[in-house]
Amino acid sequence: MSNEAALHGHSDVAHAHGVDIHHEEHGHHKETFITKYVFSQDHKMIAKQFLITGMIWAILGGLMSVLFRLQLGYPDTHFQILEDLLGSKWAKGGQIQPEFYYALVTMHGTVLVFFVLTGGLSGTFANFLIPLQLGARDMASPFLNMLSYWFFWLASVVMLSSLFIETGPASGGWTSYPPLSALGDASEGSKTGMDLWLISMALFVVSSLLGGLNYISTILNLRTKGMSMTRMPLTIWALLFTAILGVLSFPVLLSGFILLLFDRHAGTSFYLSDIFLASGKALPNEGGSAILYQHLFWFLGHPEVYIIILPAMGLVSEVMSVNARKPIFGYMAMVGSMFAIAILAFLVWAHHMFVTGLNPFLGSVFVLLTLLIAVPSAIKVFNWLTTLWKGNIRFTPGMLFAIGFVSMFISGGLTGIFLGNSTLDIHLHDTMFVIAHFHIVMGVSGILGMFAGIYHWFPKMYGRYLNNTMAYIHFWITLVGAYLIFWPMHYEGLAGMPRRYLDVSGWLSFNQFGGLNRFISTVAMIVFAVQLLFVFNFFYSIFKGRKVITQNPWGATTLEWTAPIRPGHGNWPGEIPEVHRWAYDYAKDGREFIPQTEPLGSNESAH
């Protein structure tokens, strides 16, 4: 096998990497259960920890959406089982109470955005792929990497515990705008639940920073010999930009949270002014600005959506190229457009605030910058389409999800052009149109990209395959279901139906959608059930799946497939591989694929 030739053929090449020595040490020390599975410093194990924690959160977050969709779809029905399970405070008479409904939507948003699509997605694939695809033994700092996971775990525990306190978890929406989130008297969820939410999020920011710094330094420093930046697979580029976005924007979010904590407990007035509470008391605070928080929040909040979607884009580019058996079209344009997205991500945050009283001129600048983002996004879409053109496509489960991702990204991206245009945002802001838009472009696309990654790299993670039949069922029902759920929601939004309404029957302008809400809720439950099928497939296949017997089952060019089927800590038993070409030599010179480790032929031109 050419890979092995490459592996052993260069044993005389001197590697200057410090990690080699590190690896030698690892070869000798004994691994216990604790060091291997719990406090592991192996990037592959940490990736799996992130993945499984993310999956648990995804199930919980999904279950929350089932509960609140039940209320929204069937506002008049009494589900006795809900009262039995959740108690009479939250589900009196089998109906979700408003406080609990708002707690559920808040937790659903927080959990899915941060714990699943940031922690679960970046955490998993940055950890798993960066060292393997770059030819590194491990991360730049395996110890910080381990801490990154355990801070995530702590954040998870704190967030989970907030579900069980008497006044309930935070319930001011995942954005937690003050004054609502600052005043316990304004909302039950703004009592202890909000404190736990803030603490958990602070821990999450720490986790994200530790991880992000590690990813950046690993990508910049630990590339193997010959792996110039322009030979890196697009996954790595995507993860690099993601990490940079996170490192630059999460601290701003943290500062916003700290000011909020001060307002809550130290009597400061950063966000509070002129408040008279329904309980009959005027607060002493004057001079604060509630809008300041929104600026601080969205300065992360907007890059955050790219933190979610960029890794998905990277995974999809890689999976699509491998399975179309064709190089990704326009590699440099793909890198360039991701770079443009990363820069613009910092310059568009106020498009979430067109109707807050923002200066209209300032608003117009943000319109321009926001719609500018559509250009690199369009380039990416057309490049994916061209990658499929004249390919020889294998519909592996990973590939199906990659195609589904592109479809969803197109649909959701186009509605972004509506919302980014301030004139239309006046009407559509905070309606179900927004819900449909960001669920499609960020939620569903992000999760489809993640599924593409999981199905594609599962054989590398566990040395076994996932069951294909279950994967096909999972894909088709998820794709069809996602469109059935979110497509009609646009119509509710066009009619102006506000988001976060748990019952629209009291409104003359919105009550025509009762039937549609019921339909959406029913589909949502079916789609959720199918996700459980995936979870089952995942855990079953870890232990009982069909075994991988070839080192490179997908016929891919990248380095992770030159490592043993079940790589140990250090990834390659001998020398780390050397790279001689870019990652996308598929269908070149009549050969199906040429691994990155193969030297250029004598009369072969480099890409």
Partner 1 sequence: MSTIFLLLILLLGFLITFQIAKASEYVGVLKGEKKNFEQNNRVNGFLMIAFLVLGLIGVWWCNDLYKGKILGEAASSHGKEIDTMLYITIAITGVVFFITQILLFWFAYKYQYSEKRKAYYFPHDNRLEIIWTVVPAIALTVLVGFGLFYWFRITGEAPKDALQVEVTGKQFGWIFRYPGKDNTFGKKYFKNISDKDGNSLGLLWDDPYSHDDIVVGNEMYIVKNQPVKLIINSRDVVHDVGLVHFRMKMDAVPGTPTTMWFTPIYTTDEMKEKTHNPDFEYEISCDQMCGRGHYTMRAIVKVVTPEEFILWKAKQKPNFVQVFPAKEPSSAVKTDSTAGSPMKAGL
Contact set for partner 1, span 309-328 (CB under 8 A): 324-328
Alpha helices in 87-141 (DSSP H): 98-110, 121-134
The burial of 33, by beta-carbon neighbours within 10 Å (0-12 exposed, 13-18 middle, 19 or more buried), is given as exposed
Q: Which of 66, 213, 258, 414 binds partner 1 (CB under 8 A)?
A: 414
Q: Which stretch binds partner 1 (CB under 8 A): 29-37, 46-54, 133-141, 496-504?
A: 496-504
Q: Which of 374, 461, 542, 548 binds partner 1 (CB under 8 A)?
A: 374
Task: Indicate whether 286 belongs to the interface with partner 1 (CB under 8 A).
Answer: yes
Q: Which stretch binds partner 1 (CB under 8 A): 140-148, 227-235, 238-246, 588-596?
A: 588-596
Q: How far is the CB of 5 from partner 1 (least distance, A)?
A: 23
Task: Indicate whether 426 belongs to the interface with partner 1 (CB under 8 A).
Answer: yes
Q: Which of 470, 482, 485, 563 binds partner 1 (CB under 8 A)?
A: 470
Retrieve residue 107's tokens: 């937790």
Q: How far is the CB of 248 from partner 1 (least distance, A)?
A: 26
Task: Indicate whether 287 belongs to the interface with partner 1 (CB under 8 A).
Answer: yes
Task: Indicate whether 347 belongs to the interface with partner 1 (CB under 8 A).
Answer: no
Task: Indicate whether 483 belongs to the interface with partner 1 (CB under 8 A).
Answer: yes
Count of CB atoms within 10 A of residue 83's CB? 17
Whole-angstrom distance, CA of residue 209 vs CA of residue 247: 6
Q: Which stretch binds partner 1 (CB under 8 A): 54-62, 225-233, 235-243, 482-490?
A: 482-490
List 586's β-bridge partners, or say none.
593
The burial of 479, by beta-carbon neighbours within 10 Å (0-12 exposed, 13-18 middle, 19 or more buried), is given as buried
Task: Indicate whether 367 belongs to the interface with partner 1 (CB under 8 A).
Answer: yes
Whole-angstrom distance, CA of residue 160 vs CA of residue 556: 40
Under 8 Å CB-to-CB from 265, ≥6 apart: which residues? none
Q: Map the footprint of partner 1 across residues 205-264, applying CB under 8 A.
A: none
List 498's β-bridge partners, or say none.
431
Instruction: Look up residue 251 and give its amino acid.
Output: P
Residue (32 or 77) nearer to partner 1, CB: 77
Task: Indicate whether 463 belongs to the interface with partner 1 (CB under 8 A).
Answer: no
The burial of 48, by beta-carbon neighbours within 10 Å (0-12 exposed, 13-18 middle, 19 or more buried), is given as buried
Q: Which of 253, 406, 441, 450 binds partner 1 (CB under 8 A)?
A: 406
On whether the CB atoms of residues 99 and 538 are closer than 8 A, the answer is no
Q: How far is the CB of 299 from partner 1 (least distance, A)?
A: 18
Q: Which of 9, 184, 330, 599 binds partner 1 (CB under 8 A)?
A: 330
Residue (106 or 124) nearer to partner 1, CB: 106
Q: Which of 142, 246, 488, 567 binds partner 1 (CB under 8 A)?
A: 488
Task: Indicate whether 379 belongs to the interface with partner 1 (CB under 8 A).
Answer: yes
Task: Indicate whether 391 belongs to the interface with partner 1 (CB under 8 A).
Answer: yes
Q: How far is the CB of 538 from partner 1 (least distance, A)?
A: 13
Burial 59-77 (b: 16+ CB within 10 A, else e): ebbbebbbbbbbbbbbbee
Task: Report the first-to-last Cα separation within the chain, whole angstroms.
Answer: 23
Task: Indicate whether 498 belongs to the interface with partner 1 (CB under 8 A).
Answer: yes
Distance of CA 160 to the CA centre of its chain: 19
Task: Indicate whether 59 belongs to the interface with partner 1 (CB under 8 A).
Answer: no
Q: Map the footprint of partner 1 across residues 177-206, applying CB under 8 A.
A: 177-180, 183, 186-188
Please, what's the largest Cα pairwise distance for the chain? 85
Task: Indicate whether 516 belongs to the interface with partner 1 (CB under 8 A).
Answer: yes
Q: How far is the CB of 183 from partner 1 (least distance, A)?
A: 7
Query: Nearest 5°: CA angle at 17, between 11 and 20?
Result: 65
Using omega within 30 degrees of 0 as the cis cutoff, is the peptide bond preceding 459 cis?
A: no
| Listed residue (91, 71, 73) closest to 82, CA to CA | 91
Task: Indicate whether 477 belongs to the interface with partner 1 (CB under 8 A).
Answer: no
Number of residues that bind partner 1 (CB under 8 A): 131
On whether the CB atoms of residues 369 and 354 are closer than 8 A, the answer is no
Task: Indicate whether 37 belongs to the interface with partner 1 (CB under 8 A).
Answer: no
Residue (45 or 113) nearer to partner 1, CB: 113
Q: How far is the CB of 429 from partner 1 (least distance, A)?
A: 6
Q: Compute the Cα dihedral for 533, 539, 540, 542 and give only its sign.
A: positive
On whether the CB atoms of residues 142 and 210 are closer than 8 A, the answer is no
Task: Indicate whether 539 belongs to the interface with partner 1 (CB under 8 A).
Answer: no
Whole-angstrom distance, CA of residue 107 vs CA of residue 103: 6
Whole-angstrom distance, CA of residue 587 vs CA of residue 357: 55
Can you state the angle between helices 374-388 and 290-324, rounded to 10 degrees?
20
Residue (143 or 472) nearer to partner 1, CB: 472
Residue 26: its H or E element = helix 18-28
Task: Indicate whether 349 belongs to the interface with partner 1 (CB under 8 A).
Answer: no
Q: Where are the beta strands (DSSP E) in 475-550?
A: none
Q: Map the footprint of partner 1 across residues 427-446, applying CB under 8 A.
A: 427, 429-431
Question: In the stretch 74-113, what mask flags binding to partner 1 with x, by CB under 8 A?
Answer: -----x-x----------------xx--x-----------
Q: How far is the CB of 58 from partner 1 (least distance, A)?
A: 18
Q: How far is the CB of 14 from partner 1 (least distance, A)?
A: 32
Q: Which of 1, 364, 574, 600 binds partner 1 (CB under 8 A)?
A: 364
Can you state the angle between helices 290-324 and 445-462, rounded to 10 degrees?
50
Q: Compute the Cα dihedral for 321, 323, 324, 325 and give only its sign.
A: positive
Q: How far is the CB of 379 from partner 1 (least distance, A)?
A: 6
Residue (213 or 393) nearer to partner 1, CB: 393
Task: Indicate whether 555 belongs to the interface with partner 1 (CB under 8 A).
Answer: no
List 276's β-bridge partners, or say none.
282
Task: Indicate whether 169 belongs to the interface with partner 1 (CB under 8 A).
Answer: no
Whole-angstrom distance, CA of residue 530 vs CA of residue 507: 34
Whole-angstrom distance, CA of residue 247 vs CA of residue 245: 6
Task: Indicate whether 480 belongs to the interface with partner 1 (CB under 8 A).
Answer: yes
Task: Indicate whether 507 belongs to the interface with partner 1 (CB under 8 A).
Answer: yes
Task: Indicate whether 297 belongs to the interface with partner 1 (CB under 8 A).
Answer: no
Q: Which stretch binds partner 1 (CB under 8 A): 44-52, 136-144, 231-239, 534-542?
A: 534-542
